[in-house]
Amino acid sequence: MNSYQSLSRESEIPENEQPLNYAEGKRSKTYATETSSPPIRVEPVEEQKSKSLSAMRQHASKQIDQLQKQADLLVKQARRIESRVELAEKIGKARFGFKPVLLQHYFLYRKNIDTASEEMNEEVVGEDLTLSLVGPEEWNDLCPYGMLIAKVRQLGDSTWEVVENDGC
In a domain, 11, yes or no: no
How confident is the model over 34-83, as pLDDT tens digits? 777 777 777 788 888 899 999 999 999 999 999 999 999 999 999 999 99
In a domain, 7, yes or no: no
In a domain, 142, yes or no: yes
**Is the CB of residue 110 less than 8 Å from the CB of residue 152?**
no
In a domain, 28, yes or no: no
How confident is the model over 3-43, as pLDDT tens digits? 555 544 555 666 666 666 666 666 666 676 777 777 777 77
Describe the chain by its helix, strand, coil percentages, rounded to 5: 40, 15, 45
In a domain, 110, yes or no: yes
In a domain, 10, yes or no: no
- CB under 8 A, 24+ apart: contacts of 4-9: none
Per-residue pLDDT, 79: 96
CA distance 13 to 2: 9
> Structural domain tally of the chain?
1
For 103, the domain range is 48-165
pTM as predicted: 0.56
CA distance 168 to 142: 19
In a domain, 15, yes or no: no
In a domain, 24, yes or no: no
